[in-house]
């Protein structure tokens, strides 16, 4: 069974996408296009930051998914990278074009290259956030895919090789910060979150996760709650440039990556076939479309928000999350899946496996 069809993976993808939507809803509530009756949970200062941890959960899931792929794939590294490029870039480029048309942004050279490569190949010491700003995470995804492709060349124990390479590059990146932006993605402490996902897969494959599911879930949840309410004693920044630079060291992985990895261990062996679980899994299927398209909805809100009635911040957040999820489901059904089928020219191949960020 592929990881794209392991139901808990899809549930977690749905959760990760919803957390990102919550973060952006919170941002708009603080200073956004719609008149609101108040602020959003002002007594919980880290709640908006908690929404950003959807990205950390996505990275952990991606490590799990790629470990499973590596364990079952052949050793054709170039074919693997080409398939990953087809899976990520065409939809990202299309949505980027739509977003820039809505925003009336000119197509700069760095933005154009980012839309094609998802890597900041034209950046040096600085970093240009892609026009479609969630795309910054795709650069980390593809950097990790490069490590997976290298691990494919190992004659045996490829998953263990992947884990060792990822940890080594992450630790090097916590102290070394190269001057070329793509290399900073490949040497970056955030790669440890992918490594955590690989470790979760190894625990799952060897039956360890089932034995320790309950304590892992409890500890992971407690750490997340503590992180929301008080933090874990390490300063964190949500600035994209800081994440790419790698200057925050291991703080983000310590605060959010480890708790989410424990949560994944806690739920990965769960089995449920009810209607609600199937609906959540479908939302997880569409998580990449949701992740990419919701900035278009934000841009439209800035254009027409002045005509919207005054509403509660809670109602606004709920409406934004539901609308963004429905948009993602529609794009996944009528654009993403047909596009992938046409690009791959093999409609019989499952096209539901997405980058975990996605």
Inside any domain, residue 136: yes
The answer, yes or no, to whether residue 155 has pLDDT greater than 50, is: yes
- Indicate the length of the chain as a whole number: 358
Residue 125's pLDDT is 80
Inside any domain, residue 349: no
Residue 254's pLDDT is 87
Inside any domain, residue 146: yes
Which residue is associated with the tokens 């409609």?
347
Domain that holds residue 60: 3-344
CB 282 within 8 A of CB 17: no
Inside any domain, residue 78: yes
pLDDT digits 0-9 by tens, 168-202: 999 999 999 998 999 999 999 999 999 999 999 99
CB 46 within 8 A of CB 229: yes
Residue 47's pLDDT is 67
Q: What does pLDDT average to over the chain? A: 88
At residue 73 the predicted structure's pLDDT band, cuts being 50, 70 and 90, is confident
The answer, yes or no, to whether residue 348 has pLDDT greater than 80, is: no
pLDDT digits 0-9 by tens, 202-229: 999 999 999 999 999 999 999 998 887 7
**Looking at 236-245, 315-324, 344-353, which range is the least confident one?**
344-353
Inside any domain, residue 356: no
pLDDT digits 0-9 by tens, 268-306: 999 877 889 999 999 999 999 999 999 999 999 999 877
Q: CA-CA distances (angstroms) from residue 242 to 98, 229, 239, 247?
A: 27, 23, 5, 6
Tell me the residue ranges of DSSP E strands in the chain.
none
Burial (CB < 10 A; 0-12, 13-18, 19+), residue 357, is buried
Inside any domain, residue 203: yes
**Looking at 59-73, 225-239, 245-259, which range is the least confident one?**
225-239
Residue 203's pLDDT is 97
Residue 349's pLDDT is 43
Inside any domain, residue 323: yes
Euclidean distance between CA atoms 146 and 164, whole angstroms: 14
Q: Three-state DSSP class for 36?
A: strand
Inside any domain, residue 132: yes
Share of the chain above pLDDT 90, in %: 61
Residue 49's pLDDT is 77
**Looking at 146-150, 160-164, 347-351, which range is the least confident one?**
347-351
Number of domains present in the structure of the chain: 1
pLDDT digits 0-9 by tens, 25-70: 988 988 888 888 887 766 666 766 788 899 999 999 999 999 999 9
CB 267 within 8 A of CB 217: yes
CB 132 within 8 A of CB 89: no
pLDDT top residue among 353 and 291: 291
């Amino acid at each position: 069974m592929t990881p794209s069809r392991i139901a808990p993976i899809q549930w977690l993808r749905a959760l990760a996408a919803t957390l990102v939507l919550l973060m952006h809803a919170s941002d708009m509530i603080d200073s956004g296009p719609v008149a609101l009756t108040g602020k959003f949970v002002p007594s919980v200062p880290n709640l908006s930051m908690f929404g950003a941890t959807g990205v950390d959960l996505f990275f952990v899931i991606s490590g799990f998914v790629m470990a499973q792929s590596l364990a079952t794939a052949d050793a054709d590294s170039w074919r693997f990278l080409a398939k990953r490029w087809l899976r990520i870039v065409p939809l990202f480029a299309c949505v980027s074009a739509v977003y820039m048309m809505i925003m009336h942004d000119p197509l700069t050279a760095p933005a154009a290259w980012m839309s094609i490569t998802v890597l900041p190949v034209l950046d040096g010491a600085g970093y240009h956030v892609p026009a479609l700003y969630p795309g910054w995470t795709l650069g980390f995804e593809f950097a990790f895919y490069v490590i997976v492709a290298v691990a494919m060349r190992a004659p045996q124990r490829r998953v263990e090789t992947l884990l060792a390479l990822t940890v080594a590059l992450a630790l090097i990146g916590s102290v070394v910060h190269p001057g070329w932006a793509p290399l900073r993605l490949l040497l970056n402490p955030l790669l440890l979150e992918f490594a955590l996902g690989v470790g979760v897969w190894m625990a799952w494959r060897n039956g360890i996760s089932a034995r320790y599911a309950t304590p892992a879930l409890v500890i992971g949840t407690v750490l997340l709650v503590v992180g929301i309410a008080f933090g874990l004693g390490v300063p964190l920044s949500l600035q994209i440039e800081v994440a790419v630079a790698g200057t925050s060291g291991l703080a983000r992985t310590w605060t959010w990556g480890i708790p989410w990895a424990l949560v994944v261990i806690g739920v990965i062996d769960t089995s449920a076939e009810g209607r609600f679980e199937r609906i959540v899994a479908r939302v997880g299927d569409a998580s990449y479309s949701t992740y990419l398209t919701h900035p278009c909805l934000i841009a439209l809100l800035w254009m027409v928000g002045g005509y919207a009635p005054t509403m509660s911040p809670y109602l606004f957040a709920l409406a934004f999350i539901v609308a963004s999820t429905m948009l993602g489901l529609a794009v996944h059904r009528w654009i993403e899946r047909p596009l992938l089928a046409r690009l791959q020219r093999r409609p019989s191949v499952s096209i539901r496996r997405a980058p975990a960020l996605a």
